[in-house]
Each structure stands twice: as structure tokens, then as C-alpha cells.
Amino acid sequence: MSTATSPANRGWIVTFAGLGINLALGVLYAWSMFKDAITKEFGWQGSQLNDPYTLCCLVFAATMVFAGRCQDKVGPRVTATWGGLLIGAGMILVSTTNSYNLWLLGFGVLGGLGMGFGYSSTTPPALKWFPPAKTGLIAGLVVAGFGLAPVYLAPLSKYLVTNYHLQKSMLILGIGFLVVIVVLSQFLVNPPGDYIVRDRAGAAAKPMAAGLTPGQIVRTPTFWLLWLAYFAGAGAGLMVISSISGMAKTTMKDAAFIAVAVMAIGNAGGRVVAGILSDKIGRQWTLMLVLLFQAVLMFVAIPVTKSPDGAPFVIVLLATFIGFNYGANLSLFPSYAKDLWGLKSFGMNYGILFTAWGAGSMLSSLAQRLKASSGSFDSSFQTAAGLLIAGAVLTFFIKPKAVE
């Protein structure tokens, strides 16, 4: 980056570099597009189809704690570069085998490690360039890339698998992601020590205090209320996202990938819109509205996804709104973390909070088992709705107070 680049422009360069990295890391949300090819080419059945995805989510979330610490200590550039190398290596490994165990290692472990190192390094440096009034907007833009990824990955994966089969497709994607992430990582930089954050009027924003350490935040009731609300919102969304392609097949047949892509647009849009809205009306009200709206959608989804004669546009609209509300969680909770606990240990603090997302990811396997036992997705939707209502109730007890 040129030294002549203005501070404001540097902040936007960091923001969009982070968005670009997350566009590659978002291969996780395209997993439902690979499941048919895995069944056809490898003969996997039942929970095997979701195990690499679930393990990836768990490793991703667990890695966020350590990777967040690395980001705080050695900086985002190095940490994100490690992420690109790890996810590239994992996908290249699975391209060489149909072994269930090696797919767990490649996509589940190495892929999860890569996502953790990459994702943990994108939001912190971007937030440091902007005033508190833009926290929700910037967090939403950076993480929007992760949610938006299936917009291009759904059709791209379908094309690659159709023309090159699964393993060669994973090789192509792995090499591509490795190059993109490593290159964009070089643009992730923190502001210099003497940098002064300014508001829209050009006045210096009030500096944040050092904030709380990881050891301090886990001893506060607010942390655990946030953790449970995050678990509910993320878990309910992941139950649906991991199986949306299968749900849409009843009505949309071979065009089901469109529902995946459209859900991704909603997912990305929810991150940006919720971030902006939370800057205006507050995180607490925004989170409560998001969780309640998502609960309503779960009940609406039961008759919609069961009908073989349902209108495809209804499925697409439902997928958009479900993606929107799920995505909102991914901008609201990092914004909460900055507001409550400051930026000094933001990487590790948010990494610890992000374990709620990892715990919620285990519900995707529960959805697969409920579908296998009942023959429908009704139980999954009902379980998700219950979680979301519980999460909405918890928001009434969250009393955020910004770091002063």
C-alpha cells in the first residue's frame, strides 16, 4: 500500500480486503451443494454427509480463540496468511482421496483451522480505522463476504462437479482460495500507533479504554447471556443452511442451487443491514427483532418445504429471509464485543464468544438425524423456532454498557 494513501482510504482498503478473504472462506456455506456429489461418487450416507461440515464448524470456532490471540499479538497480515495456506492445503488434500477419515482431516480439521485464522484476522483491523458510530456498518461489510460466498460458489460448484467431478473440483477451488487469501492478506494492516479516529465531522472520536481481558469477560453475566443468544441464533440458522439444498429439491428439483445462492444474498445483506440498523437503534433491539422474525420463519417453513406443488418463488423468498436473519448474528455479536470489551483484546474476546457459533453448528447434524428418523424437516424447524424464541427472551436481560 502506498504511503500516500489517505487514512480513510486505507481503512476502506482493509475493509474490502477482509470482505474478499471471507468470500473465499465462505466455502463452508456451500457444503450442501457438495453432498449429492459425495453420495453419488463416494457412496456416503446419513450422518457421514454432514460430519466433515460439522467438524469444520467446530474446529473453526475453537481456532478462533487461539487465532484471535495471534491476531492481537502478531497482527492480521501474518495470521490471515496462515489461514490461506491451511484451507488451501485442506482442500488439496481432499481432492486426492475418497477416504471418509481424510475428508474429516482435510475439510474438517485443516479447513476449519484455515477459516479460524483467516476469519479472526479480517474484522479487528477494519474496525480500528473507523469511529464507533460505524462499528456495525464496518463489521457487517467485512463479514458479508463469508455469507455472500454461495452466490458464486453454488453455480460454480455445480458447474465444476458436473464437468470435472468432485475431487478435481476441490483441487481447483483449493488452489484458487489459497492464492486469493494469501494475496489479500497482505492488505490487512492495523492503524499506526499515532492514528486518530475521526467522526463524520472530522472531529477526533473519543478514544476507547483498553477494555476487558478474556479472563475478565467470562466472569461477567453479560458474556454468558450473549453466548447463549449467539448459540440460539447461529444454531437455528445453521440447521437450515446446511440442508437448504435438500429442502428446496422437493419443489425446485435441479434448480435447488438457486435457493442456496439466494439465501446467501440474504445472509450477506442481513449482516450489512443489521449492522447499520444496530448503529441507529442499538444492538439489543436489533438482535431481539432478528431472533423473533427468524422464529416466525421457522414455523412458516414447515408447510412451504413439505409441499411438492409449492411455488418456487416462495421457497426462494423464504430462503432469502432465513439467510438475512442468520447473517445478522454475524455482524451484531462482533459489534457487541467491541462495544462492551474494547479493541485491545478484541480478537481473542470475540474468539471466545464465537465458540457459541461452533456449539450451534452441532445442530446441523441434529437436523440430519431428525430428518432421517421422521422423514421430514418439521422437527428441525420446530427445534430451531424454540431456540430462537429462547434467544429473543435472553436479549431482555442483556444490559450493554460501552467501554468508557
Domains of the chain: 7-188+205-397 (1.20.1250.20)
Grid coordinates representing 388? 430462537
Which residues share a beta bridge with 204?
Answer: 198
Q: What is the predicted pLDDT for the residue at 197? A: 74
Which residue in the block uniquely carries the three cell numbers 499479538? 73
Burial degree of 194 (CB within 10 A; 0-12, 13-18, 19+): exposed
Q: What's the pLDDT tens digit per position in 74-105?
A: 999 999 999 999 999 999 999 999 999 999 99
**Residue 248 phi, psi (nearest 5):** -75, -20
Where does residue 197 fall: left (phi above 0), alpha (psi -120 to 50 degrees), or beta otherwise?
beta
Which residue in the block uniquely carries the three cell numbers 460458489? 153
Q: What is the predicted pLDDT for the residue at 21? A: 96
Measured distance CA(148)–CA(266) in Å, rounded: 8
Q: What's the pLDDT tens digit per position in 31-78?
A: 777 887 888 888 887 778 878 988 998 899 899 999 999 998 999 999
Cα dihedral 154→158→161→164 (10° resolution): -110
Q: What is the predicted pLDDT for the residue at 118? A: 95
Q: What is the predicted pLDDT for the residue at 320? A: 83
The structure's pTM equals 0.84
Neighbours of 210 (CB within 10 A): 12
Question: Residue 385 is which amino acid?
Answer: A
What parts of the chain have a pLDDT lower than 70?
Answer: 1-8, 198-210, 241-257, 260, 305-312, 364-377, 400-404
Q: What is the predicted pLDDT for the residue at 248? A: 61
Grid coordinates representing 11? 481503512
Q: What is the predicted pLDDT for the residue at 285? A: 93
Instruction: Report how far Cα 127 is from the mean position of its chain's Cα atoms.
Output: 17
Measured distance CA(188)–CA(121) in Å, rounded: 8
Q: What is the predicted pLDDT for the residue at 201? A: 53
Burial degree of 343 (CB within 10 A; 0-12, 13-18, 19+): buried
Q: What is the predicted pLDDT for the residue at 136? A: 93
